[in-house]
Structure 1
Amino acid sequence: MTSLERPPASGDFEWDERNDQPGGHKFIDGMASLTSDTDGSGYLGVASGAALLRITVGHNGHRSGTSSPRASTVPFAMTSLSALDGYIDDYFALYHRSYPIIHEATFRAQFMEIIPRPSGNAWQVLLYVVAALGAWSTATQRTDAHTALFEAAKARFSFDLLETGNLVLVQALTLMANYAQMGNKPNSSYNYYGLARRNAMGIGLHKELSAWRLKPLVIEMRRRVWWCLYAFDVGSIITFSRPFDFPQSGVDVELPINVHDADLTTATTQRPPPADTTTLYSHLTAQCSFHMATYNIYERMISDSFPSAKEMVELDDTSIESWLGSLPHYFQPSATQPPRYAFSHATLQWRYRNLRILAYRPFLLKRAMSGSEWVQDQDGSEDLANIDIAFQRCLDAASESIELISRFWFNNSQTMMVSWYGLYFLFQAVLIPIVCLRNNPQSDLAGAWRDQVHESTRILESMMRLNPTASRCLRIVTSLAQPYISNEEEINGPTQESWQDQLTSLYPMMWPELGSDFAPSDHINELQESTITDFMNRMSAYE
């Protein structure tokens, strides 16, 4: 069977994400949703957001752009650590609420030198990346302060640090990885995560030994660092659709306790009971338990033999639905949250719906592109009932995502961090009604699809003032959907493109490693045609 993957024109997936360096000017978005060609972008797999884009854009003439990040206008090195104080406050005000990889009281005491700072440069690296993330996450207008702060963090990083192993270094590498991803350097991020993971296992964060006589806070900090690294790394693996290589066997570290910080301090000698309410650690444990419950879905999604509709529905029921049922009452989807935890709770709702979109969209694509009737296999074995379920669940997940993201964006503080996560999940969601509209604009559901596109456009227009990537997303949405939403009275029928042409043009969103923006050649066209045909053949052979 022909592989769904094909090499880039250059023959490899090499990349260069350095700023202001020769060869380092190519735009590669950290959401893996807008990358429209594979040369210089690294490997992005079939479950990435860019995968669906590649099936739609080619015939609409869109390219994601190749501009390089602006050089920062902020001085490279701060003359006084006091200049970092506000950025540190910003870090703990928002970013920390989702990913508490640092113990705030300890870090602040070290910063003020109330207690000794850890020796070596690792703490300095951590300090500056914390400041960079603080400047980035809470920004309410475009700023490049975070860029200079991250450069300062990198300047304090050296190869000598890789000859050491300690908790601070794992924290620093993990946060550097996450910043790099959100700064549109996904491959750099991937490398940082690899270093962080190796260092973490090198100091045994994946183990808990009964013979250890450690203070409860020390044990909890080890757990928090390990599971924050897990949440970040697994999240990026899914974003870029790369093999799931985070260790599963040999890991016996417990999830963090759901406890308020005031109930677990350096003086605590006994492990406190978990709180029956949302705490700083509720989202972390919920996201980690989600990834553990659903990694089997992701593995099946990227495997050579894609699951049947029946199998995917069963995986959903036994994994996602079971996980939802296991969430504590205070973190259920419908639970009202204190304002400080509203964002982390919201992203969890967006996240699990996004996985459903990724899992079910192949079934939706075939149904949408095959007309109103599902074409059965010759032996008549296609499971129409489960295909109906898969189709509807994909529509529902997309619709719910758009509604939830809109509600949060327009009713809460509009910061860069909110826009980054909101944009990532929104863009993948809005492609679903767009594909449906283009293929069946006269459907009874077309009105709802148009409403979803209109609402997504409203969100993107609002995000543009803060997040430049929103402009790129808006251009794509407009180019794909405008003929089907501008004047409903003039919409006569579906696109006249064959499903082969639609798949060819949608490549930059769905399979970034199979991009359509190569230099023209008969060989490339033949490869693309055979890959599309193979995809459709596989879809028709699911059952």
Structure 2
Amino acid sequence: MHTEAAPVYPQSTAEQACRECRRRKSKCDRTIPVCHLCAKFNRGCTYEKSSRTPLTRTHLSQVENELARTKTLLARFMPQGERGEDQPGCRTRRDGMTRSQSEAPSALPGSNGAGADGLLARDYLREDALHPSRPSPAPAPPALDQHHASRIPTAAVSVGQAQAPKSSRAMRPAPEAQSVTPAFSLETPPSSSNFEWDERAGATGGDKFVDGMASLTSRSNEGGYLGSASGAALLRLTDRSSEGENDTAYPSADARRPSIPFALTSMSQLEPFVDAYFRLYHCSYPIVHEATFRAQFMEIIPRPAGSAWQVLLHVISALGVYTSATHPTDIDFALFDAAKERLSINVLETGNLVLVQALTLISNYLQKRNQPNSGYNYMGLARRVAMGIGLHKEFPTWDASLLTLEMRRRVWYCLYIFDVGAIITFSRPLDFPEEGVDVRLPSNTHDSDITAGTRRMPPPAQETTIYTHLRAQAQFHLATSHIYSKIISHPLPPAAQLIDMDDQLIGGWLAELPPFFNETAIQPPKFTLCHAILRWRYRNFRILMYRPFLVGQLVSQLERGVDTTTTSDIHVGTAIDRCFRVAHEAVELITTFWRAHPEHRTMMACWYSLYFLFQAILIPVICLRNDPRSPLAEGWRGQILQAVEVLESMAVLNPTAQRCLGVIQSLCGNYLQPLGDGMGWVGPTEESPQTQLANLYPLMWPTLEMGMGQLDGADAIIQESTIMDFMNRLPILD
């Protein structure tokens, strides 16, 4: 019996390879809708339509007009010496663009041969097309680098004023090529999970360790985006094994929800937790007016309507028991679960001061309990509700009591320092509003000086109050927000520019601290911790500013045999020296505080001490590992051993300290002890930078979870080319 064969229909194919195959440099069969490789490895297969330039006189005239506008913009914003058309050795192309005769052989990897002229022309042309009616930015101040300042106009910052610095907030397209700075990029792309996360207890993936300090993270990058200023960024470039081990060696206690250890049968059970909150946490972050809250708690005055106040009560209780604990505790989990049960979706359809307070405290609690992305989301809600009720504005003709005005200011700036502090910790874009915010800083007064019946503003207290630290930290973030935006951008500003901003902005902020709260002022016991944290905080910020130059110098030493203690660029040398100095100061301050104040060894003190100490100690750790015979090596060893001793005592309170110890041991344990009598210290790692980066590849650029063995052969080529691109971007140091 003859059977007729089924007809074979021709498959539709695309004109070019799919986006994923082009990214991986794989051979694509261009099958529509899914190519063979994407179907095999379950990738997202998308094709882009190619558009050809129309060869018409109309289009050519349009291009010529756009080019003329571009040249006008270049002449306005760039000095004459920076334009390629005025430089010797350049020739004019037929389309009017300029190109150096030596451009092609010296082009950076990934730049597609585009020089500075082509880059700026495209950027300004794109800006002109997107915003044809937007006025041109004002010329940049002479103190800033002209090239970068002309693209991001800035204004001078007065750290003594409450208003934020006026800087451009317009979102601009990313440049297609960048100039090289003597610093190492710490950015890493997402894995196949695209930075997605799930921090719910008991959920799939919810039991994986996620560090609220953004220093220890999973190699799978499933803990959310952590940028170049986070501790994890530096660790990813340094550690080859500890991150993978961390996922299993030390299970996360915070991810497990214990059974409720008690039953809430009366409000009196919460009273000791509320007392603990106001005794410790409130001295640093006075977002709640203590007298008003206690009166509501005792029902001396009516409690606010709705469930938001109950949410606030239980999260205050959770923070009180956790931050003041002197040994590991699980009670706060039950209290926080009680707060979440009262936070229904209907609450988000209301707007009031109590809800802002509750959402802000929930955000900070979740970060301390290693759910940072959840806290980040809650903070976004808190900010929206706050602006919805006008906390960011002052109303001169508003007939409100002084206590009401001060309460609004305190809540706004507590929200501000929590939000910006978390943004810096995770190294995410600074999206806190600046334009249109005119709320004043809260007054440095005692609570008894401003009551419900106060009609005249009392003079500021000339001593530390519970609002002194709030004012000082808010002024610090107002002064340094522009610096932060620079250090998370690419390319990193030149060392000279960062040093200048450091001296002017951070130095100015230090100079304007009140005498009773300056660097060396002795504090009453209740304010000792918040004063110490502020000293650690600004040193940590300086470490974030300067450590890319240190990493770039270390890699250059390994690759080209350059001495890490010398550099031809005096500003880079100054930046590296400052990084060493502030890291050493931070280690000394934190370890001294932990040893000298056993009465302050609480969960809150441990959390901040551990965060800032681990960030600081990574500097001598990576230096000792790569240059153990340096003249500075003995000092590095002393700092590390000093920190290890303190971390061991912290591990009793916070399990994350044990993880930090494991990382330090894996990185430089062999460099802390001599090999034997007369043998001296071990030498630096014999791995080349390419080999070290190749070993780091699964941490820096995680691919499909199914394993390297199932990947097609093109991925090895991508791995090698990506590593070489990193190495070629480093400057050649003399």
Question: Shorter-chain TM-score: what band?
Answer: over 0.9
SS, match of residue 64 in structure 1: helix
SS, match of residue 58 in structure 1: coil
Task: Tell me how far apart the structure 1 counterparts of residues 396 and 243 of structure 2 sit (CA, whole Å).
Answer: 61
Distance 1:105 1:411, change over 3 A: same
2:7 match: none
1:384 match: 569
Task: Tell me how far apart the structure 2 counterparts of residues 504 and 287 of structure 1 sit (CA, whole Å).
Answer: 41
1:179 match: 365
Task: Tell me how far apart the structure 2 counterparts of residues 78 and 102 of structure 1 sit (CA, whole Å).
Answer: 23
SS, match of residue 540 in structure 1: coil
Equivalent runs, 1:126-525 vs 2, <5 Å? 126-371=312-557, 384-412=569-597, 413-487=600-674, 489-503=679-693, 514=701, 519-520=707-708, 521=711
- Residue 204 of structure 1: how far off its partner (Å): 0.1
TM-score normalized with structure 1 length: 0.93
- Residue 43 of structure 1: how far off its partner (Å): 1.2
**Structure with max Cα Rg:** 2
Distance 1:445 1:260, change over 3 A: same
Distance 1:349 1:198, change over 3 A: same
Task: Tell me how far apart the structure 1 counterparts of residues 688 and 637 of structure 2 sit (CA, whole Å).
Answer: 22
Distance 1:459 1:244, change over 3 A: same
Task: Tell me how far apart the structure 1 counterparts of residues 727 and 509 of structure 2 sit (CA, whole Å).
Answer: 32
SS, match of residue 256 in structure 2: coil
User: Which deviations, in whole Å up to 9, do the C-alpha atoms of 1:262-298 show, x marking residues without a partner?
Assistant: 1111121111111111111111111111111111111
SS, match of residue 396 in structure 1: helix
User: Which deviations, in whole Å up to 9, do the C-alpha atoms of 1:454-488 show, x marking residues without a partner?
Assistant: 01100110001110110101100111111111226
Distance 1:42 1:62, change over 3 A: closer
Q: Does the 8 A contact of 1:353 with 1:398 survive in 2?
A: yes
Q: Give the partner amino acid of 1:307.
A: P
TM-score normalized with structure 2 length: 0.70
User: Which deviations, in whole Å up to 9, do the C-alpha atoms of 1:100-133 show, x marking residues without a partner?
Assistant: 0000111111101111111110000000000000
Number of positions where the alignment pairs a residue of Structure 1 with one of Structure 2:
535
- Residue 249 of structure 1: how far off its partner (Å): 0.5
Task: Tell me how far apart the structure 1 counterparts of residues 515 and 476 of structure 2 sit (CA, whole Å).
Answer: 16
Q: Give the partner amino acid of 1:179.
A: Y
- Residue 77 of structure 1: how far off its partner (Å): 5.3
Q: Give the partner amino acid of 1:194.
A: G
Q: Give the partner amino acid of 1:427.
A: F
Moved more, 60-69 or 77-86: 60-69
Distance 1:504 1:192, change over 3 A: farther
Q: 2:294 aligns with which of 97, 101, 108?
A: 108
- Residue 227 of structure 1: how far off its partner (Å): 0.3
Task: Tell me how far apart the structure 1 counterparts of residues 245 and 483 of structure 2 sit (CA, whole Å).
Answer: 31
Task: Tell me how far apart the structure 2 counterparts of residues 524 and 94 of structure 1 sit (CA, whole Å).
Answer: 53
Task: Tell me how far apart the structure 2 counterparts of residues 117 and 433 of structure 1 sit (CA, whole Å).
Answer: 53
Distance 1:503 1:91, change over 3 A: farther
Distance 1:372 1:75, change over 3 A: closer
Q: Where is the helix percentage greater, Structure 1 or Structure 2?
A: 1
Task: Tell me how far apart the structure 2 counterparts of residues 138 and 293 of structure 1 sit (CA, whole Å).
Answer: 31
Task: Tell me how far apart the structure 2 counterparts of residues 516 and 430 of structure 1 sit (CA, whole Å).
Answer: 30
Task: Tell me how far apart the structure 2 counterparts of residues 281 and 507 of structure 1 sit (CA, whole Å).
Answer: 47
1:379 match: none
Task: Tell me how far apart the structure 2 counterparts of residues 536 and 451 of structure 1 sit (CA, whole Å).
Answer: 31
Distance 1:285 1:191, change over 3 A: same
Q: Does the 8 A contact of 1:461 with 1:470 survive in 2?
A: yes
Distance 1:498 1:339, change over 3 A: same
Task: Tell me how far apart the structure 1 counterparts of residues 536 and 697 of structure 2 sit (CA, whole Å).
Answer: 24
SS, match of residue 285 in structure 1: helix
Distance 1:452 1:125, change over 3 A: same
SS, match of residue 361 in structure 2: helix
Name the Cα RMSD after superposition.
2.4
Distance 1:537 1:25, change over 3 A: same
Task: Tell me how far apart the structure 2 counterparts of residues 524 and 252 of structure 1 sit (CA, whole Å).
Answer: 52
- Residue 320 of structure 1: how far off its partner (Å): 1.2
Distance 1:517 1:286, change over 3 A: farther
User: Which deviations, in whole Å up to 9, do the C-alpha atoms of 1:473-530 show, x marking residues without a partner?
Assistant: 110011111111122654242111222344556689xxx8755996435666555554
User: Which stretches in structure 1 are left out of the alignment for 5+ residues?
Assistant: 377-381
Q: Does the 8 A contact of 1:309 with 1:383 survive in 2?
A: no
Task: Tell me how far apart the structure 1 counterparts of residues 714 and 614 of structure 2 sit (CA, whole Å).
Answer: 32
Moved more, 251-260 or 5-14: 5-14
Q: Does the 8 A contact of 1:310 with 1:387 survive in 2?
A: yes
Distance 1:500 1:517, change over 3 A: farther
SS, match of residue 578 in structure 2: helix
Distance 1:169 1:369, change over 3 A: same
1:122 match: 308
Q: Does the 8 A contact of 1:57 with 1:505 survive in 2?
A: no
User: Which deviations, in whole Å up to 9, do the C-alpha atoms of 1:355-402 show, x marking residues without a partner?
Assistant: 1111111111122233399989xxxxx861111111110011111111
